[in-house]
Amino acid sequence: MNNGKKLHRSSSDRIIAGVLGGISEYFGWQSSLVRILYIVLLLTPGVGLVAFLSYIVMGVIVPSDHSTTSFFNQMKSNFSTTNPDSQSRKVLHNVDEKDVNDHQKRGQS
């Protein structure tokens, strides 16, 4: 069943986040049909909240068609902890230090 297609958020067929456009592209359906089915799910008692929350989750997790990683993975890489010892330090040469209170020591105001 894996034919090389990947689920992504569409940037060309989008209204809010492109999730439904991406689903329609993945399955080869018309996007208006997917949107009508989603609205029916939203208005169905007991399923509407799940449909709404799943849209939000998919908007965060599913990557855009321009990006190779999802929003979640992008944020995870931004907040990943790194070892402070492995970070390089900048070394400054020929820097003169000046005491900010130097004028007070000399009696200047």
The answer to whether position 35 is within a domain reads: yes
- pTM of the entire predicted model: 0.56
The answer to whether position 22 is within a domain reads: yes
> How far apart are the two ends of the chain, measured CA to CA in Å?
81
For residue 26, what are the domain limits? Answer: 1-70
Domain count, the chain: 1
The answer to whether position 84 is within a domain reads: no
Q: What was the pLDDT predicted at 16?
A: 84
56-108 pLDDT, tens per residue?
998 888 887 776 555 566 556 556 655 555 566 677 777 777 766 656 656 55
Residues whose CB falls within 8 Å of the CB of residue 6, separated by 6 or more in sequence, listed in order: 26
The answer to whether position 57 is within a domain reads: yes
